[in-house]
Structure 1
Amino acid sequence: MIRLLAVAALLAASPAVAAPPPVELTAPGPQGSLAGTLLDPDPTAPLVLIIPGSGPTDRDGNNPAGVAGGPYRQLAEALAAKGIATLRIDKRGLFGSRAAVADPNAATTAGYADDVQAWSKVARAKTGRKCIWLLGHSEGGLVALVAAQRPEGLCGIILLSAVGRPMATVLREQLKANPFNAPILAPALGAIDALEAGKRVPAATLPAPLQPLFADKLQGYWIDLMAHDPAKLIANVKLPVLILQGTRDIQVSVADAETLKVAQPRATLALLPGVNHVLRPVASDDRMANVATYADASLPISPAVAAAVAGFVKPST
C-alpha cells in the first residue's frame, strides 16, 4: 500500500527532542578504521545506520561532484529531533575512512556490506541496542539489500531512492533521459553492454565526456555493481522493509520503487510527493531546476523524509 496520507500525517508529530552532541565512532575495516558520527538522543529509541550513495559521497551526504548542504546530516538531525538515533558513515577508502583500504575504486558491493555488518556490531556494542535499522540511499540501498542477506543484529531496512532494477538498465535510462547526451549515447550504451557482460572497455577509446564515468580504474566497480539484481535480493529479505521514493527523482524512478514492492509484497511503499534524489522538495518538473538544488547548500531537505522514516521505525512517533 502506498502510504501518502500516513507520511503527511506524520509531519505534525510530537515536539522536537533536544539535539544530542555528535559522537565520533570507528569500526574495523579491512586495512584500517572506518569512521562515522553517532547522534543518540535516546538510548531506548531505534538506531538508524545511514549508508551513503554512489561515488565520493561523505557521511553528511556531500559529494565534490555537486552535492552540498549535507542531506544526510540534515536527515540525521531531523530524526534526532524525533528522538531517533542515527549513525552516518564514511565509505571505505574515503574521508575519515580513507585508511580502511588502499584504493577506494577497488570497492565492491559485498565489501561495503561487510563494512555495514562491522558497523552493526560496533553500534550495538556501544549503545546496548539489540538491533539496528539500515537506511541505504541510492546505491546505498543496494548495499543494504546485500547486507540484509545476513539479518543477525538488524531490525529492518529502509531503501531511500534505491534502484529496483539492475544498474545497467537504470544507467541506460538515465543517459537516454538527458537530451544533451545524444551525441555520445551510442558509445555510452555500447560501454554499458560490455561492462554488463563483464568485459572492460579502454576508456581512451570513448568520447572525452564519457571517460570520467567509465574510467579504467572504475570499470571493476561497474562490473560488480551491474552483477546485482535488487529485485532478487529484496525477495530474499525476511526483515521489515520500507521503500521510500520521491516523485521528482530524476535519477531513480517511481518504477524502481514499484519493482521492489512487487518483488517483496510485505514491504511498505511510501511515495514522497515533489521530493528529488537529494531529498529536497522541487516545485516543478523542470530538469535544470531540479539539478540546481543539488549544489545549493542553503536548501533544507523535505521534512517528509524524516517523518516517513520515523513513522516506520518508531510507529508511536
Structure 2
Amino acid sequence: MKFYLLVALFFFASDLFADQTETIIKLKTETGILEGSLMIPTGNSPVPVALIIAGSGPTDRDGNNPAMKNNSLKMLAEALSENGIATLRYDKRGIGKSQQAGVNESELRFDHYISDAKDWVALLNKDERFSGITIIGHSEGSLIGMVAAQESCVKNFISIAGPGLSADKVILEQIESQSPQVLTRVLPIIERLRQGKMVNDVNPQLYALFRPSVQPYMISWFKYDPTEEIAKLKMLVLTIQGLNDIQVSEAQAKMLAKANPHAQLKLVDDMNHIFKQSGTSRADNLASYNQPDLPINPVLTHVITDFVMKNDK
C-alpha cells in the first residue's frame, strides 16, 4: 500500500514530561488518513524508536476503547521516552482519528493492518533522527507486527501478551470454556472458514460472531499461525508475558518463544494483559482495565529498555 507523508502537525502537550515532545503525524493510505503520535526524548540524536501496535477491537493508540480507559499504551510510550527510546503509536484504521481510513466491514482484511504497520516502518526508516526500529506488538498487534517485520527493515521485534495460537483456535478455546454445548455448531463454520469458504446459513444465535460481512476478515485472519510467522523472523525477538494475564496464557507465550531460535522469553510477575500491576482475583484484574491513572508494571519498561538499548549498538 503506497503512502504519502503529509505535513506534520507539531504540538507540545502541556501534560508531557519536560524531557519529551509529542508530534502528531499523518499517513495517507489508499483508503484514507491514519494518525499517530510520535514521542521523542529530548537530547542528542539518533535514538532508537519503537512502533507500538495496539491489540484487537476498537483499541486506540493509547490502549483505550469506548468501553474502557486504561492509558496502557500511552504510559508505555511515556516511560520508554523517559529512558531514551522514541515511540510511534497510532490509531488503527477505522479507530479514533484514523476513522476515515476505515473500510466497509465486508471489505476489511487482516492484511490491511499488516500493510499499515509496514507503511509506518517505512516512514520511520526515512527519519535520520532514529538509529534503529523496534516493532512492539500487543495482543493481536503481536501477530500484525511479526508479519510486518518480515519484509521491513527493523532491528528487533517484541511481542507483549501475543497469542501463540491462530485466531480460529483461540475462538474455539474460548467457546469451549464458556459454552461447551455450542462447540458442535461452531466447529463446521470454523472449518469452512479455514478453507477460505463463506458460510451462508449461520445459526441466528451465532450470527453476531459469524455474520457474512465479517467472514472475509476472519478468513484472512485465520490463515496466519503466530508460531509459523514468528519463526520467519531473522532479527532478535523478545516475548513478554504477564503472569496475571487472564486473556493470554503463559503457555502461549512459551509457544511463541520456542518457535524462534532467536527469541528470548520474559515472564513478569503481577502484570496483567494491559501491563497493570494487579492482584490474583479476577475482579481486581478486570477493574484495572478502567483505571487510567493506575501505573503500568515498571518491570515491563525495564525489560524493553534493556533489550532495545543493548541491541541498538
Secondary structure of residue in 1 paired with 2:285: helix
Alignment of 1:72-151 (within 5 A): 72-103=73-104, 106-151=107-152
SS at match of 1:69: coil
CA distance in 2, matches of 1:292, 1:212: 26
1:265, distance to aligned residue in structure 2 (A)? 1.9
Q: In structure 1, what is the equivalent of residue 171 of structure 2?
A: 171
The aligned residue for residue 257 of structure 1 is 253
| Aligned CA distance change for structure 1 residues 68 and 231 (closer, same or farther; 3 Å) | same
Structure 1 length normalisation: TM-score? 0.84
Bigger relative contact order, structure 1 or 2, given CA contacts below 8 A and separation 6+? 1
Shift of 1:120: 1.4
Give the Å deviation of 1:214.
3.0
Structure 1 position 204, deviation (Å)? 5.9
Contact 1:110-1:146 at 8 Å conserved across structures: no
Q: Secondary structure at the match of 1:315?
A: helix
Which residue in 1 is equivalent to 2:57? 55
Distance in 1 separating the partners of 2:211 and 2:282: 26
* Counterpart residue number, 2:34: 34
Counting aligned pairs with the same residue, the percent is 36
Corresponding residue for 1:292? 287
Give the 3 Å change call, closer, same or farther, for CA 316–221 of structure 1 in structure 2.
Answer: closer
Contact 1:187 1:206 in 2 (8 A): no
- Between the aligned partners of 1:311 and 1:203, the Cα distance in structure 2 is 52
Residue by residue over 1:264-309, the C-alpha shift from the partner in whole angstroms, topping out at 9 and shown as x without a partner, is 022111111121111112211x333322322233422211221111
Q: Deviations along 1:170-195, whole A, 9 cap, x unmatched?
A: 222233334xx356444344543443
| Paired position in structure 1 for 2:3 | none
User: CA 1:251/1:227 → structure 2, altered by over 3 Å: closer, same or farther?
Assistant: same
Alpha-carbon distance between aligned partners in 1 of 2:231 and 2:82, rounded to the nearest angstrom: 33
Conservation of the 8 A alpha-carbon contact between 1:109 and 1:146 = no
Once the two structures are TM-superposed, the CA of residue 19 in structure 1 deviates from its matched residue by 3.9
Question: Counterpart of 1:37 in 2: which secondary structure?
Answer: strand
Aligned residues: 294
The 1:212/1:270 distance shift into structure 2, 3 A limit, reads same
Mapping of residues 228-267 of structure 1, within 5 Å:
228-267=224-263
- The DSSP-based 3-state class of the residue aligned with 2:92 is coil
1:157 corresponds in structure 2 to 157
Cα gap change, 1:93 to 1:18, in 2 (>3 Å): same
Counterpart of 1:198? 196
Unaligned runs of 5+ in 2: 1-16
Indicate the residue corresponding to 1:10 in structure 2.
none
Does 212-221 or 38-47 show the bigger shift? 212-221
- CA drift at 1:251: 1.6
Q: Which moved more, 1:246-255 or 1:168-177?
A: 168-177
Between the aligned partners of 1:126 and 1:38, the Cα distance in structure 2 is 12
Within a 5 Å distance, the mapping from 1:260-275 to structure 2 comes to 260-275=256-271
Kept in 2: contact 1:30–1:101 (CA 8 A): no
Alpha-carbon distance between aligned partners in 2 of 1:235 and 1:68, rounded to the nearest angstrom: 34
Equivalent of residue 187 in structure 1, options 185, 193, 197: 185
Q: Equivalents in 1 of 2:93, 2:79: separation in Å? A: 26
Q: Which amino acid aligns with 2:85?
A: I
Contact 2:105 2:213 in 1 (8 A): no
Whose strand proportion is higher, 1 or 2? 2
What is the alpha-carbon root mean square deviation over aligned residues? 2.4
**TM-score of the two chains, using structure 2 as the length reference:** 0.85
Counterpart for residue 276 of structure 1: 272
